[in-house]
Structure 1
Amino acid sequence: MPDVDRFRALLLAVRGETLALIAGQRGAIASVSEARRDSNVDDEHDPEGSTIAFELSQATTLAKGSASRLEEIDAALARIEDGSYGVCAVCGGPIAEGRLEARPWTPYCIEHARGRA
């Protein structure tokens, strides 16, 4: 059984970092969107338009990834509360502590993590 207090603290720290990252990404999206709005030129024909479109796409993708990570962290915190933290969601076996240290939000042992995102 992993030291849930240590992992709770780790997850809360990563959660705080992720929230800060999301806020920064939202700011980047707003900035790029504002730049795009101020540009009265069609993205397709403006040399800067493709850059703005790329930056917006990249910022949006990063924000979605961070939101997904936040959901994983919150799910791990819920597993701590219900007593199932450190137990593989597939086989019910223990998740190695080293794996939890690397990915404290994971619900899978290393064997069942293979092939998953």
Structure 2
Amino acid sequence: MDDPRARLERERRETLKRLAYLSDDFDQVVAASYDSNADDEHDPEGATIAFERSQLGALADQAQRRLTEIDAALERVAAGTYGICERCHRPIASDRLQARPVARTCTECA
């Protein structure tokens, strides 16, 4: 397995890029809706704009939660507790950490 800190830092950079991209897209959708006379309740196009805003907002929230998880994992790396289950205090299997580097618990406790 590669260095956990390096992998988490890489995932953090990717998540920040995704968050910036989603924020830009969200801003563009909002700006486009200002230029239209779409009424979200009565105009068929308004529903599409509302759906796009909602979808982009949900994806941005998901990316923000991922960023929070990554930051917490980086704190565990710094504290020397990364890879230790928060419930049973046994090591988390490397396969689990490879698949889910932000894992806080072992498979048995999850």
- What TM-score range do you get, normalising by the shorter chain? over 0.9
SS in 2 for 1:110: coil
Moved over 6 A (4+): none
Q: Which ranges in structure 2 are unaligned for 5 or more consecutive residues?
A: none
SS in 1 for 2:15: helix
State the one-letter code of the partner of 2:109: H
C-alpha separation between the residues in 2 aligned to 1:35 and 1:91? 51
TM-score, length basis structure 1:
0.90
Please show how residues 72-87 of structure 1 align to structure 2 within 5 Å: 72-87=69-84
Q: Which ranges in structure 1 are unaligned for 5 or more consecutive residues?
A: none
State the one-letter code of the partner of 1:59: L
CA RMSD of aligned residues (A): 1.2
SS in 1 for 2:77: helix
State the one-letter code of the partner of 1:10: R
State the one-letter code of the partner of 2:33: R
C-alpha separation between the residues in 1 aligned to 2:73 and 2:37? 46
C-alpha separation between the residues in 1 aligned to 2:39 and 2:90? 56
Alignment counterpart, residue 91 of structure 2, candidates 76, 91, 94: 94
Q: How far does residue 6 in structure 1 lie from its aligned partner after superposition?
A: 0.6
TM-score, length basis structure 2:
0.95
Matched, 1:108 2:101: no
Which residue pairs with 2:6 in the alignment? 9
Identity of aligned residues (%): 51
Please show how residues 46-57 of structure 1 align to structure 2 within 5 Å: 46-57=43-54
